[in-house]
Chains A and B, each alone.
Chain A
């Protein structure tokens, strides 16, 4: 038999619960065992039960979505399946055989591949090198051209568009994800696990991904798909399982499921997806801009021009949305407005006074909060404690700081306050921040930043990784900042989110502003044209 030596196998008495109804797939012969069956998986961490007796069946030819609130245990369950964590109890059955997946290598050998939410590619290597890294089948002493030819062949076989000779560091998020998927598929995976794959993709890239997933499914393989976007889950999945507090609550057919119903399953009670957060009538907008940028140009990390002649005025009491396809200068613009990136031309004024570009501490000190685009690279120090991370913005002054001191007990109190406001359950504040679930990290950063945003909040994709409830809470918080007369600069890839929340929308294309529209005049079509590079300007003055 072809079972790899690493994984111990034993035939399982397939009781009635192991051979389920075939996931609604009438084309499967009756009695077909699930490709993956998890039985009673339990995994605890100190102070927390991350998975509690979870059963899950994934059939061949199925896209199975996994839903749940932040911290519900989705990533942990998948880390058990891929051999990163060891379950405390329960077993993993592949094709009807109990398997002992003791390491990621064993899981890969058993045909399970995972694309993590935070990509694990080597940015300095080419696509071909990344695909071949740590792979048994990589030929000894292979030249770059051999690797690239092999990669090209693989890409063709799985119809994934990649450029084998490109450096991964230069690729967009969608392209990097295709490389990750190719890496997994090249190792003959039959089960592809994707942890929040669309969080960083443009709508177009998401459509490309879905096409690739359907093709993969058509060959009798299975996909496990974790996402917080209920609409896309309903569209792509065959069945949907919901986790709550570490337990599996339900498995439903995707056909016939509603967003409301799924959301209620996730949180345990009916929730109103209240979508409107209108301006309070008569809410004033500050006559003078809080932040005024004139003729700003800046370089990207590689030293190439990324922003050209950007002029934007941000007033108190308004939300200015920035639309655009990812990679058109959003990252650089958000960093310039928060003082993290030096500029090559132009001036920035905060409350009428010149600000020193590239002085992040100075900007924060003048009341500019910043929810960064990439929380693990910029917003957090994952290896430090949750306490250290929570006080990253306020350690300089009392109660934590002052007189050059750092008071750990005061820091602990502040961290507890921030975690409580962010609705993050933390078993130990001494634990490294990387142990928090992805969404809980984001909640913590968002809360921390709104606290210091006395004048301005710069929010770059703030709802990334958040569950539906947390998105509601966060958007309400942003609307409240506006109502308090603060200025908000909101970057988002979701036009609906921008249109719903912003007072004005500016469109960024190739590092230039294509125009600024009052939201009342902004429709998806016009914005789409501008995102493609068409100039358009209707006043663009504050409402």
Chain B
């Protein structure tokens, strides 16, 4: 008699969820241990953070500002996983979206609502264009999209840095390596928030509904699960790949516009702030489900916010990135372990 681990072919849902929660706790515990070893008091820091983050509406609104781009970049990645692909280029599409929005906002004039819509449209188109070449390469030549989308992130970063420090630089206000303030802003919501959050939530809900309740969503599901069956059923697999990837780029681009018009107001080198990469983690933690992205984006935003609050205590924000990395790492382990279950050795019956 005894207990033993048994691998099962597919992970049980409850086991998978438990694995993820444990992964997050394990990552936090690791971070706490490291903090303790560097002479800080992790429990007190945690309590301090909790008070600041949830003790006031302002704290919650800060999380809201962070969660907005994360929802959108998370959705961008979750969309492509539905058709079996990965958009690793959210970071670049985000930046290019912000750039396009800034271009419209800085160089055109008009009534605010019209201008905001124009900026959003420009950002979506720019994001889609930024993923166009990887999309075509993937759909028609089978080129792996992981590498192509990733490489374009660096091109985007260089382009934004050049524009922000060169042609569009704010020459009035001194040393800022950023453009002039874009005069059009997202309508405010609460003290410090803006309408970006409800828009992002709406995008997630619409995406989830579209994948479940439309023909397009069904066809995407089939094409992602088995391209052979899609061909058999007459589903145009290439067209679906193109549509899903362009949509993904557009959503990431939109995220850039909302960040620009809602939070940053100036285009600058670091505007994408790793949101594109964090979006991959958001989508992975959500297991590709658009509704779960809302929860995992909130989790990620809370962590980022913790880093910002605790930086007052001398904690470097990159420590937070390290923690998110740990979460992903432990999640991968947790996902694997979720395939195992503890079974009792059968008792001898004879």
Contacts and interface: CB of A to CB of B under 8 A. Distances in A.
Contacts of A152: none
A393 interface: yes
Nearest to A90: B346
Given A86-B6, A392-B222, A379 B217 contact: no
Contacts of B231: 340, 360, 378
A238 to B, nearest CB: 26
Nearest to A393: B233
B346 A87 contact: yes
Nearest to B223: A381
B40 interface: no
B232 A370 contact: yes
Contact of A40 (B8, B221, B349): B349
B348 interface: yes
Interface of A: 8, 10, 12-13, 15, 18, 39-40, 84, 86-87, 89-91, 98, 100, 102-103, 339-340, 359-365, 370, 372, 377-384, 388, 392-393, 395-396, 401, 404-408, 432
B215 A395 contact: yes
A98 B7 CA distance: 20
Contacts of A10: 348
B229 interface: yes
B280 to A, nearest CB: 22
B234 A360 contact: yes
Contact of A383 (B226, B343, B345, B349): B226
A98 B348 contact: yes
Contacts of B217: 406
B9 interface: yes
30 contacts: A10-B348, A12-B348, A12-B350, A15-B350, A84-B9, A86-B343, A98-B348, A102-B6, A340-B232, A360-B232, A361-B233, A362-B234, A363-B234, A364-B233, A372-B232, A377-B228, A380-B226, A381-B222, A382-B225, A383-B225, A383-B226, A384-B225, A388-B222, A404-B215, A404-B216, A405-B215, A406-B213, A406-B218, A408-B212, A408-B213
A138 B343 CA distance: 33
B214 interface: yes
Contact of B215 (A8, A370, A401): A401
A339 B232 CA distance: 9
B35 interface: no
Interface in B218-242: 218, 221-222, 225-226, 228-235
B345 A407 contact: no
Would you list the 4 A-B pairs with minimal beta carbon distance, nearest first?
A: A361-B234, A360-B234, A381-B225, A381-B226
B4 interface: yes
A365 B222 CA distance: 18
A100 B225 contact: no
If over half of A's interface residues share one DSSP class (helix, strand or loop), that class is named, otherwise mixed; here it is: loop
Interface in B119-152: none
Interface residues of B, number: 32
Contacts of B5: 102
Given A13-B350, A89-B346, A392-B222, A360 B233 contact: yes
If over half of B's interface residues share one DSSP class (helix, strand or loop), that class is named, otherwise mixed; here it is: mixed
Contact of B213 (A12, A359, A364, A407): A407
Given A365-B234, A380-B229, A405-B215, 13 more contacts: A12-B350, A100-B345, A103-B7, A363-B234, A377-B228, A381-B230, A388-B222, A393-B233, A396-B215, A404-B214, A406-B213, A406-B217, A407-B213
Nearest to A79: B9
A128 to B, nearest CB: 27
Interface string B177-212: 000000000000000000000000000000000001
Nearest to A13: B350
A392 to B, nearest CB: 5
Given A381-B226, A383-B226, A91 B346 contact: yes
A364 B217 CA distance: 20
Interface in B1-22: 4-10
B343 to A, nearest CB: 6
A39 B9 CA distance: 24
A442 to B, nearest CB: 15
B228 A388 contact: no
Contacts of B221: 381, 384, 388
Given A372-B232, A378-B229, A406 B212 contact: yes
A404 B215 CA distance: 5
Contacts of A372: 232
Interface in B232-257: 232-235
Contacts of A393: 233
A405 B213 contact: yes
Interface in B302-350: 343, 345-346, 348-350
Contacts of B213: 405-408
A235 to B, nearest CB: 34
Contacts of A89: 346, 349
A18 B217 CA distance: 56
A88 to B, nearest CB: 8
Nearest to A360: B234
A98 B345 CA distance: 12
A392 B222 CA distance: 9
Given A13-B350, A364-B234, A381-B222, A392 B229 contact: yes
Nearest to A14: B350
A20 to B, nearest CB: 15
B324 to A, nearest CB: 29
Nearest to B222: A381
Nearest to B345: A100
A361 B235 contact: yes
A191 B170 CA distance: 78
A381 B229 contact: yes
Contacts of B349: 39-40, 89-91
Nearest to B218: A406
Contacts of A39: 349-350
A14 B272 CA distance: 71
Contacts of A18: 350
A248 to B, nearest CB: 16
Nearest to B2: A8
Contacts of B235: 361
A137 to B, nearest CB: 24
Which of B213, B345, B346 has its CB near the most chain A CB atoms (within 10 A)? B346
A172 B258 CA distance: 57
Contact of A378 (B9, B212, B228, B348): B228
B222 A339 contact: no
A378 B232 contact: yes
Contacts of B10: 432
Given A359-B234, A360-B233, A360-B234, A405 B6 contact: no
Nearest to A370: B232
Nearest to A374: B228
